[in-house]
Amino acid sequence: MAEDMTFLPKSAVLSIEEMGELAERFVARGIRRIRLTGGEPLVRRGIDTLAMRLGAMIGHGLDELTLTTNGMRLAEHAPMLDAAGVRRINVSLDTLDKQAFQHITRVGDLDVALRGIDAARSAGLAVKINMVALAGLNEDQLLPMLDYCTANGCDLTLIETMPLGDVEDDRSDHYIPLHHFIAPLREARAIYPVDKRTGGPARYFAVEGSPVTLGLITPLSDNFCTTCNRIRLTVEGRVYMCLGQDDHVDLRAALREGGDLDSLIDGALAGKPRAHDFHIEGKSKPAVARHMSATGG
């Protein structure tokens, strides 16, 4: 997110009931997995109602309901997520250094995030840590993070920073290819590819001497588009077929005015592009104007 964000008026945002109805329509059209993301999904009023409604579809067209969170409100919501049928979550955690964590998140409290992870694991949720590789900010944190994941039963996915939305820092200043970011790990331990597929962008590896499954998401250094099958529904009711493209299908008007939602959804599913437009080349403009928080991770 930018430091100064302009937030949407309430009328532009889908209600919890509208989100639930659209999710049911997507499942009826063949979607099998739903992830609640953001922004931060656990700050949305009514998230418990939505999670329960979506969780009720598991086994009835929906295979899995998952969540990505920053962990700030995870401790209080972990029992609800378990009750809704969520069995695994992703927690965004770029560093275990308190000062660096506060700098990266602006206002985040590392202790609160770690307590949230503990609460999620106590509730029976499998936790995967998502760590964005940031040159000059967390290059020394990979091995400590791997040790933390090993000790706490979490898997770990590393992600290259993506050029989405204008922010204060130029992303080219902090971009580091993952093959450089993981160099200290390769020097310390062997890593081996494993045959794991999730339908998402990550490639997975086993780490010598650790039970952690390591995922690598490389939108810039090693394009993953041929294996990505994800689409994203925003709180405005827009379906983006690619994180790095502006093309979208607007469902809100049809939902509120009784339009042909099924045809629009089918068009969105058929319109997924071949590849994104991510580039980071010295002071480059973002690939799209919208921020990650507006589309979902």
Domain residues for the domain of 150 are 10-295
63, part of any domain = yes
242, part of any domain = yes
pLDDT at 196: 83
197, part of any domain = yes
Average pLDDT value over all residues in the chain: 87
* CATH code, domain carrying 177: 3.20.20.70
265, part of any domain = yes
The fraction of the chain above a pLDDT of 70, given in percent, is 84
Rounded mean pLDDT, 75-97: 98
Strand partners, 90: 68, 128
Helix 16-28 / helix 261-270 crossing angle, nearest 10 deg: 60
69, part of any domain = yes
Helical H segments across 29-172, by residue range: 47-55, 74-84, 98-105, 110-122, 142-152
Is the pLDDT higher at 15 or at 174?
15
Q: Which of 12-16, 164-168, 174-178 has the highest mean pLDDT?
A: 12-16
Domain total for the chain?
1
Convert the pLDDT of each residue in 120-137 to its tens digit: 999 999 999 999 999 999
The fraction of the chain above a pLDDT of 90, given in percent, is 68
pLDDT at 144: 97
pLDDT at 270: 86
- The confidence band for 165, taking pLDDT boundaries of 50, 70 and 90, is very low
pLDDT at 164: 53
1, part of any domain = no
Lowest mean pLDDT among 4-18, 210-224, 239-253, 263-277: 263-277
For residue 267, pLDDT over 50 is answered with: yes
pLDDT at 148: 98
Is the pLDDT higher at 210 or at 287?
210
Helical H segments across the chain, by residue range: 16-28, 47-55, 74-84, 98-105, 110-122, 142-152, 178-181, 183-188, 252-257, 261-270, 292-295
pLDDT at 275: 55
Convert the pLDDT of each residue in 48-76 to its tens digit: 999 999 999 999 999 999 999 999 999 99
Rounded mean pLDDT, 91-110: 94
Separation between Cα atoms, residue 71 and residue 63, nearest integer Å: 24
Is the pLDDT higher at 229 or at 67?
67
Is the pLDDT higher at 237 or at 220?
237
- The confidence band for 297, taking pLDDT boundaries of 50, 70 and 90, is low
- The confidence band for 6, taking pLDDT boundaries of 50, 70 and 90, is confident
2, part of any domain = no
pLDDT at 259: 92
20, part of any domain = yes
Ranges of beta strands (E only) in 121-240 are 126-133, 155-160, 191-193, 203-207, 213-217, 232-233, 238-240
pLDDT at 106: 87
